[in-house]
Amino acid sequence: MNRRPLVRDLLTEKQPDLTAAERKLTAVLVDNAMVAGLQSITRLAESAQVSTPTVIRLARKLGFEGFGELQDAIREDIAARMKEPLAKLNSGLDDAPLDHMVTRFASGALGNIKRTLERLDLTQFDRAAQLLSDPTRELHFMGGRITRSNAHYFYNHMQIIRPRVYLMDSSPSVWPQSLLDMGAQSALVIFDIRRYEKELEKLAALAVAQGVALVLFTDVWGSPIEQHAEVCFRAAVEVPSSWDSTLAINLLVEALIAEVQSRRQESSADRISALEKTIGQSRIFRGA
């Protein structure tokens, strides 16, 4: 079976036939590992400082009917690229002792990542990225007894990338105070894996009733909160342990952090620069 050439390879092959504007657009795609191609045609054109007809012309020169077909091809290429390293990592376990905990745990964790990526809906990923990068929205993060560290990790990065980001208190008694200011211009990110927590389900229901967009990270069996979620990520969590592993969940989290930062490149760069300046002035860290 003949596989379609990678979009990156098509761009290289067609380079001599491209106009200056099309080369400018190509540079944006290649420099961002093709991820920029997952944006809307308008946003992609703005990123490259070209017109939307230029985007369409480039797609047709590469052999696609239009931008939609080109974007589908980019999605396929990125999904394949994410899966290939997993096979290489698995092969590294071949010579390890099969009965050692490190080998068994690594095998289980890699399997979780593989299964999670196989089931990943990239349109859901893009919708989550859109919600999280929308500057008009407030973002709120909440995790359960085990997953609060995942929520805190996500919050910590997003708070650096953009303003109006909040980590909710772990005590349900103060949630009503947070809910007071949530509405249609808010998004709530919840982490809930087995055993599912009733308090989190109540929080999700109340928030959605107020118009809040809900993004859920859960396991393959699905938290009851899923019925309220606009976007839901199901990740494999089973490993040879009494505890579930959230490595696959964190892979999705870090991919979203990277995507949101790419969508807010200029504004996040300003924030990071200001943060570094403050760190230098406060001398909190060595060498600052």
162 and 34: one domain?
no
Q: How many domains does the chain have?
A: 2
Q: Rounded mean pLDDT of the chain?
A: 87
More confident site: 141 or 10: 141
- Asked if 63 and 188 sit in the same domain, the reply is no
User: Alpha-carbon dihedral of residues 47, 52, 58, 59, nearest 10 degrees?
Assistant: 100
| Domain annotation covers residue 228 | yes
Q: What confidence score (pLDDT) does residue 206 get?
A: 97
Question: Quick one: average pLDDT of 217-242?
Answer: 92
**64 and 127 fall within a common domain:** no
Which one has a higher pLDDT value, 144 or 75?
144
* pLDDT band at residue 266 under the 50/70/90 scheme: low
pLDDT of 91: 53
Higher local confidence (pLDDT), 88 or 71 = 71
Is 17 contained in some domain? yes
| pLDDT, mean of residues 83-110 | 67
What is the tens place of the pLDDT at every residue in 150-161?
Answer: 999 999 999 999
Does residue 260 share a domain with residue 157? yes
Domain that holds residue 143: 121-272
Q: How confident is the model at residue 95 (pLDDT cuts 50, 70, 90)?
A: low
Please report the pLDDT score of residue 234 as a whole number.
Answer: 94
CA pair distance 127, 232, nearest whole angstrom = 10
Both 140 and 232 in one domain: the answer is yes
Q: Tell me which range, 82-96, 218-232, 253-267, is most confidently predicted by mean pLDDT.
A: 218-232
User: 170 and 37, same structural domain?
Assistant: no
- Give the end of a domain, one of 78, 111, 136: 78
For 30: left if phi > 0, alpha if psi spans -120 to 50, otherwise beta; the answer is: alpha
Question: Is 282 part of a structural domain of the chain?
Answer: no
Give the residue among 72, 73, 82, 71 at the shortest CA–CA distance from 37: 71
